[in-house]
Structure 1
Amino acid sequence: MTKLYLIRHGIAADRADYSNDEDRPLTEKGKQKTEQVAKCLHKKGVKFDLILTSPLVRAKATAEILSQEGLGKKIAEFAPLAPAGDIENWVNWWSKWEYNKDDSSLALVGHQPDLGNWSELFVWGRTEEKLIVKKAGVIGIRILDKDKPIGNCELFLLTSPKWLL
């Protein structure tokens, strides 16, 4: 079964300090906490065949930290991971992904509420807006049917950085 990790970006700079939300970087605390989470995941043996990231600065920085801590070497920007992205675009991409096999592992670095909603769609086939991914938090999902992932997954991890650290 493929493992899918949905990871929210780390703590970012205040919105009020940036005219464009897309440009907000991680704060020093956000970088440190994200590094700690990445080290914890690495110690637990987590590795990614690919890290897909939202094109926003804070998400790309989070993906870089995951890579630097040894979780995966390949990073690619994926526009549907930006806020309000469409999961159907991911499903279409997924069906063609070269590593779409039983033992693959993929990270999606993005934003709340999208990651929580996507997780609900993967597991239950609908959204209730009940799953919350904290900053630098992780949701782990096993894809049970690689030909039809929506509604055919099981949740195996839902954790905040505070619990991991």
Structure 2
Amino acid sequence: MSTSKVYLIRHGIAENRADNAPDENRQLTKEGVQKTRKVANRLHLMNIHFDLILTSPLLRARQTADILQTAGLGHKIKESTSLVPNGDINNWLNWYQQWRQSGGHCLALVGHQPDQGNWAEILVWGEPKEGLILKKAGVIGLVLPETGDPVGNSFLFWLTSPKLLL
């Protein structure tokens, strides 16, 4: 079994929070769709391809995942409640171990900030430090170890603002 790459991708620019409107129904703005498409197309030009795009079920994240799929970055999308705001990384880690055993090597996680930054810090340093800020449609790339616990044993190979990909 070889190492795997995990790309944490924050959803694109979404509608502002409205009073009495459910957060899970906020969708990408027109600008958010355009910028996310540009980022996805750039990732495609870089020959990045995901075995699976795992996404938060919230609308703005699902729309981002759909844009990634449309750009040819992956054929399969699956929703995970672990990726909702304040989702449980331990539930995801259990899922991840099974996914790796089934042969997965390159995974996109589409979710929310600060969770995406905190999860990256947990995987790299073993604890959240709240120092990694992932901009909307930004990308963090991690390499997780071949065997053993990825918490504190992964390494960061990529952190980029969407501006650098536009």
User: Which residue of 2 is the match for residue 70 of structure 1?
Assistant: 72
TM-score by length of 1: 0.95
User: Which residue of 1 is the match for residue 60 of structure 2?
Assistant: 58
* Separation (CA, whole Å) in 1 of partners of 2:97 and 2:148: 7
User: Which residue of 1 is the match for residue 161 of structure 2?
Assistant: 160
TM-score by length of 2: 0.95
| C-alpha contact 2:134 2:161 (8 A) present in aligned 1 | yes
Moved over 3 A (4+): 98-101
Between stretches 75-84 and 13-22, larger displacement belongs to 13-22
User: Which residue of 2 is the match for residue 25 of structure 1?
Assistant: 27
Distance 1:99 1:62, change over 3 A: farther
- Pairwise CA RMSD: 1.4
The amino acid across from 1:111 in the alignment is H
Per-residue deviation at 1:17? 6.3
User: Which residue of 2 is the match for residue 122 of structure 1?
Assistant: 123
The amino acid across from 1:73 in the alignment is H
Q: Any unmatched runs of 5+ in structure 1?
A: none
The Cα offsets for residues 39-91 of structure 1, whole Å up to 9 and x where unpaired, read as 00000010000000001000000000000000000000000100000100011
Distance 1:87 1:76, change over 3 A: same
The amino acid across from 1:68 in the alignment is T
| C-alpha contact 2:10 2:135 (8 A) present in aligned 1 | yes
Q: Any unmatched runs of 5+ in structure 2?
A: none
Across the two proteins, how many residue pairs are aligned to each other? Answer: 164
Percent of aligned positions that are identical: 57
